[in-house]
Structures are given as C-alpha cells and as structure tokens.
Chains A and B, each alone.
Chain A
Amino acid sequence: MASITIRNIAKKFGELTIIPGLDLEIADEEFVVFVGPSGCGKSTLLRIIAGLEPCTSGELFIGETKVNDVPASKRDIAMVFQDYALYPHMTVYDNMAFALELRGMSKAEIDQRVRRAAGLLHIEPFLERKPKALSGGQRQRVAMGRAIVRDPKVFLFDEPLSNLDAKLRGQVRTEIKALSQELKTTMIFVTHDQVEAMTMADRIVVLKGGEIQQFGRPEEVYETPANQFVAGFIGSPAMNFFPIRRAGDAFVFEGAPHLAAPVPDALKAALGGRSEAVLGIRPEHFVPVGGEEGVLPVVIDLVEPLGSDTLTHFDLAGVRTVARVDPELRPKVGDRLGLVAQAGKAHLFDSVDGKAIR
C-alpha cells in the first residue's frame, strides 16, 4: 500500500514525444483510472510506473521512495496485462505461486495464499489446469489472482477487460471494483472505455497527447468537464456541441440564426468580451416538451431503443445531435419533437482553446 507521486515525467521515443511532462499525485488506497483515446500515452505512463519503460526525465515516487532506478522486479508492483500474459507451461496454481516462490516463501504460506486468492476469484476448480485449457474470462481471473497473492504495494491493470465479450466485461468490471474495496490497495487501471472509467474509479485521469486534461472524481469529470475534449470523451453518447454567437443578451446558433436563447446571468461575467463560444448539451439533458415558444423544433431521423431509454438522432442547427428520451414517448423516424435543454446543465467552451467557461 503506497501513494504514487509523479513529478514532471516525460517520455520520448527518439524524436517522438509521447508524454511532454506530467505531474500526478495518487493517494494511498486510491483506485485511479487512466482514460483517453489510443496514443494518448496512458499505457506508456502505466509502464513507466511499472518500471517496464524508462522515463526520459522526471521523478517517480512510490510511497516516499524514489524508484526511477529501481528495476520492475524490485518495485513490489503487480500488473495485470491486456493479454493476461500467463506462463503457458505452468498450471494455474504454479502461475499464482511463482512470484511467492521467488520471494522464498514457505510452501504452506504459498498454499494458503494461492487458495485464498483462488477462493476470492472462484477459480479453485481450475488450479491444476494449464492456461490453454481455460476460457478468456477464467484466464483473466488467473491473471488477477497472480497479482492478488503477492499482496503488492500497487496494482496496475493494462486494459484487462478489452479481450472479453461485452457481458463478461461488465461482470468482471464489477468484480474488480468489489475487489478494490476489499483489498484496499492503490490501483491504477488503464482503459480507453469511458464507461469502465466512470464506473470503477475513485478518480479519473483523462489524458490526451500525453497531457492530463482533467483529474477528478467521476461525477466531477462528468458534471464539470475542464474542456471540450473531456466533455466529448466522458459520457455516452457523447455531448452535443453547437457553435454559437453572442448577440446582446442572447446566444444565436451559428447554423440556425433564427434559434436564440438568453445568456444566463451567471455566465455573463465569465463570458467577458467573447462574441463566440461552443455550447455543449449532453443527450440526457434535452427535455421533450410541447410546441410552445422557445423550444428547439427537430425532426427525428434515427431511433435507437436501448430499453431503459431511447436515443433519438436529428439535425439541430446544422449539427448531428443525439437526445436521450423516455422510451414511453415511443419516438419514430419522421416525428417532430420540441426540445428544451435543462436549465443549468448546459456547458460553454471557449471556441479557440476549448476551455470550459464558468
């Protein structure tokens, strides 16, 4: 159990800069998820923490100890790999016992630890099997078991769910979260899936181009995104963005000058002298209303029923837009809908640097 401190860590592969310089403080026993699109540097950052990749500059601390020069084998970190990386020639039992053997632990202690972890992960019936005789989900569990038995300072997960089918992914996700609550160990989980990030993390690190876009609790990142990138990345379906212009005390949609909305008083100061901005509205923050004045009139051209709610697609002010509506509404293609955005749930972003305006 330990905190992790990253001070100005940079990583370059030759001329190519993956991480230009990054600071991060992860608290003891915290479950942090690194999320971002492919090539954002999240896996590289994880591998630097693991010791599998050297950093070009900067400092890395595990607890109070600087570990830049400590090899991976001595960092007391356990890692679950995307392809599980089980030892193919060893049984499940031996896979889990291997690290303990290396530490010179007694056979009785090893046995006790392996069986406890196997019990926790429901893999006792497979202990004598070789990895090739296991399903993907079972292998995944063995990989986690191999990490758990060691009782390490830090757990690292490198996209461990991406090779599982959708149903199993949801199940294992819940299990990992339950496990994290039980083990009370610092955990870092890398994923490109924002649902995994939202559901599992104590805090989320949103990465893009090797830079932290936002570091905060899931609800923080969702409710008050730091910039347009975070707003678009977190949340599914993604937030809708509309370029807008300010005309006195009202906003006018760029794509539809006849659509206008009053500038909320709270934002007047924050907007300053800007004449343009980007308005962001999440699909779930549209409310269908009757045909009265001030609503946004749309014609539905695609419907995706999800059961619990229904996604409707339409064109609004020249922007492809998605709204999440009550399935009881039974929307159909061609239906006309009057929408308003929920008060206080809309976001504004600078049209140049994308930063949130608050």
Chain B
Amino acid sequence: MNDHSSPRWVHWLNTLQLTVAGILILAPTVWMVLSSFKPSFEVTAYPPTLFFQPTFENYVTLWQTTPFLSYAVNSFVVTIGSTLLGLAFGIPAAFAVSWSRITWPAVLTLAARMAPGTLFLLPWYIMFREVGLIGSYTALILSHAVITMPIVIWVLLPFFDNIPRSVFEAAQMDGCSVTRILWRIALPLVGSGVAVASILAFVFSWNFFLFSLILSNSDTKTLIAAAFNFVGEGSTQWGSLMAAATLIALPPLALAILVQRWLVAGLTLGAVKG
C-alpha cells in the first residue's frame, strides 16, 4: 500500500492496528522481564506493580537451585542437532519437490507438523524405550526433527521454485547430475532462504516443550522442560520461572535481531514472486 495516496484515516487505522498488535504481543514479554527482576512476594501482587526495587534474587535462586548451565547445553545440543538434521533432510526434500513438481510429500510433512505433538508421544516413548534411547540426545534430536524438517521444506520451497527452470536445465546441459545441480547451482542461490529456515527451525525446536518433557531424563532435560520444575503442585515459584523464561527467550531473540532483514525478505518471498 502506498501511504502517499491513501487517505489520512487509513494511515491512522494502520497505526492503531500496529499499536494494538504490538501491545498484545509485547505486554506478556514485558511482564515476564519485569517480573523476573521483582522480589518474589511482588511477582503475584495484584494490581501488578510497575515501579519496584529491582533485584537479581530470582536469577541467583535459579542459578543456585538448578544446573541451569547444563540444561542450556542440552537445549543447544538438541536444538542445533535437530536444526542440522532438519536442514540435511529438508533441503534435498524441498529441492526434490520443486524439481519434480510433485507436492504431496511436502503436504504430508506439513500434516505431520500440524498433528498435535501428543499424538507422537506414546508411540515414540514406546519405540525409543524399546531401542534404549529414552533420555538420550538422539531421541530428542530425532523427535525435534519432526518440527524442524517441515519448516525447512516449506520455507525453502518458494525459494527453489523462484529459480528459473532454465538455469537448472543449463546446468544439465553443462553436464551436471541432479545432485550436483542442488549443491553447485540451487543451494548457493537460496542462501537467504536457508538462513531463514535455520532460524525458524532453531526457534521452534528451542521452544518445543512436550517431547523433551517425556523423552529426556535429568541429564538431557532442555531448558524449556526444566523451567517447568518451578511449577509445583502446591505453589509455583513465579519469580524463578520468569527469570528462566527471560533467559530462555534470549538466544532466539538475539538470532532474530541478527538476521531480521533476511527474515522479513524470506517470509514474504512466497507471496511476491517474480
């Protein structure tokens, strides 16, 4: 939309919409961050306090009562592992779908992604237990690949589709096999797509709670599942939970800020072809 040609009220409406959306999205985040610096008695105070004496008490508690660092390592291992696995399978899969113009495999992966995670839990628990992998990184990485691979495929598909077919055909005429076309021609041309896919896969895998809760053990628990420990049956340690949540949100946030430009370009590519 061109702001110069739109009436003034449209401009104001846009601003209003963005403001409301911004508040809806940011308010819980702001509340989370503020709460993490509040003394524990003030976290659940009603009405919520906006001005308070900030304290690192929650972070200190978090650090002292949990092996936070080893949970973080677990999260990084599982997330990076599943992102790499998603890329390793998702890139060739997306290229194959784009190349052959047979879309049902991609739709199938999307269906798997749309199915509720609980659907996988029982069969996976049984399967991984049978092969003795419960509590292992392998089980977590494999299960998280169900999240990452469809993301990689669906983000990359429009990128591959956007490369003129004749470029691939020229490579064929030059003597390239299909595999070589993928590595030498197609992949270098979808670099920003791979970046976007990696980040989205990372974020979704990082924040995925359910599989880790069931398939990990105390040594391999990821941050997001570990944070759940603060939710008790009788009482919930809101302060520590908020401190953990704030720290957990940092890596994806840092990544998103780092590659914001690519992210926007990548997310709109499918819509604006040509």
Q: Which residues of A contact B (CB under 8 A)?
A: 50-52, 71-74, 77-79, 81-83, 85-89, 98-99, 102-103, 146, 150
Contact = CB atoms under 8 A, between A and B. Distances in A.
Nearest to B177: A73
Contacts of A88: 167, 189
Given A52-B169, A85-B164, A85-B166, A99 B174 contact: yes
A89 B189 contact: yes
Contact of A102 (B170, B174, B188): B174
Nearest to A74: B175
6 contacts: A50-B173, A52-B169, A72-B173, A78-B173, A81-B166, A82-B166
A77 B171 CA distance: 12
Interface string B167-187: 101111111110010001100
A27 to B, nearest CB: 22
A50 B175 CA distance: 12
B176 A85 contact: no
B172 A85 contact: no
Contacts of A73: 172-177
A102 B175 contact: yes
Contacts of A85: 164, 166-167, 169-170
Given A79-B173, A81-B169, 4 more contacts: A71-B172, A73-B174, A88-B167, A89-B189
B218 to A, nearest CB: 47
Q: Is the interface of B mostly helix, strand, loop or mixed?
A: helix
A50 B188 CA distance: 26
A81 B189 CA distance: 19
Contacts of A71: 172
Interface string B146-180: 00000000000000000010110111111111001
A264 to B, nearest CB: 51
B174 A98 contact: yes
A98 B174 CA distance: 8
Contacts of A146: 170, 174
Contacts of A99: 174-175
A79 B175 contact: no
Contacts of B174: 73, 98-99, 102, 146, 150
A102 B189 contact: no
B176 A81 contact: no
Interface in B170-216: 170-177, 180, 184-185, 188-189
B227 to A, nearest CB: 43
A146 B166 CA distance: 14
A331 to B, nearest CB: 46
Contacts of A82: 166
B169 A87 contact: no
A89 B188 contact: yes
Contacts of B171: 87, 98
